[in-house]
Amino acid sequence: MPTFKAEQLHELGMRIFLGFGVDEEDARCVMDHLIQANLMGHDSHGVVRIKDYVNEIKEGKINVKVKPEIIHETETTAIIDGRWQFGQVIAKMGMETAIRKAEEHYVGAVGLIHCNHIGRLGAYAQMAAERGMIGLVMCNSGPPGGIVAPYGGRKPRLSTNPIAAAVPTGKGKPFLMDFATSVVAEGKVRIKYFKGEKVPLGWILDKDGNPTDDPGKLYDGGMLQTFGGHKGYALSLLIDILGGALTGAGCTCGKEYTGGNGTFMMALNVEGFTSKDKFLMRVDEVLTKIRETPTLPNVERVMIPGEPEFETMEVRQVKGIYITDKTWEDLTNLAREVGLNVEDILKH
């Protein structure tokens, strides 16, 4: 698999999007997000998505000629109509809005409708943590009707319904959790499919409800399962309600579902609850205690959520980002389609 510097892939992606009519600010927003995902080890949400996004631009599913707008607002809440722009552009605006409200009123909660794929949710939660706030993000997604079976069911009714949260710390990187409420994110299955690899049993049911290790079965009427049985199912359903019913985007298997990511996000200003210094002291204390936990055999150390990603980022910033041959082929084909010389771009 080829390996590239983050800056090389960022520039290539920027030039591809510009060639397909995306303005520079929006192209930069999307590429910043995708490259961060690759650097943090979440390749399923990185540059592999560029081809999908370009196809959606061609099909009119992503409207690069509009800007998201706030259509309902109070002192502490807002609903943003994304107008089917890039999901990353919409979600960045959403968290910026939540942070602005939390700065003034200590709490900011924002819903996103008519919103395309927002990518890695942790990026938006991290925005709040970097401003000294607690960030919370969750969303539902397509396809309409669902791709995840509810606990005990053999037909899909839910989406992967991911949730992310970030908490600032006094020392070091923030606490950062980000996971799908399905056993695995759909993008992880996609990567296995592209590589021609099997998936572990327990990830997927085929269209008849039978367990399978063939990732292709997911795209032939199959479905994912929720993590943790009934517990993951309950959390997934709650996320669908907050991201879909509360915002107006519609629940995945509901009549009003409009596609994309019905998203709910919050920023909590800790100074509305306690002093920031005391909060950070308490967080650092508990994280230190967690790290000092004696380990099980063959476990090197107990890690805090987010640490694997931040450590992966440090490595990949030096060693580069590796992508599959299929993804590289897709990127070079897109570049040629808009008249780009890939070799020249990679020289810079």
pLDDT in tens, 255-284: 999 899 999 999 999 999 999 999 999 999
Q: Which residues contact 68 (CB under 8 A, 6 or more apart)?
A: 80, 81, 82, 83, 85, 89, 90, 93
pLDDT digits (tens, 9 = 90+) for 70-113: 999 999 999 999 999 999 999 999 999 999 999 999 999 999 99
Q: In the CATH scheme, what architecture does the domain 66-182+226-272 have?
A: 2-Layer Sandwich (3.30)
Q: Domain spans of the chain? A: 1-64+307-348, 66-182+226-272
Average pLDDT, the chain: 96
Model confidence at 188, pLDDT cuts 50, 70, 90, reads: confident
For residue 40, pLDDT over 80 is answered with yes
The CATH number, out of the four listed (1.10.1530.10, 3.90.550.10, 3.40.50.300, 3.30.1360.70), of the domain defined by the range 1-64+307-348: 1.10.1530.10
For residue 234, pLDDT over 90 is answered with yes
How confident is the model at residue 187, as a pLDDT? 80
For residue 1, pLDDT over 90 is answered with no
Q: Which of 315, 348, 283, 332 is nearest to 132 (CA)?
A: 283
pLDDT digits (tens, 9 = 90+) for 119-173: 999 999 999 999 999 999 999 998 899 999 999 999 999 999 999 999 999 999 9
C-alpha dihedral over 181, 236, 99, 122, to 10 degrees? 10
For the question of whether the overall pTM of this predicted structure is more than 0.75, the answer is: yes
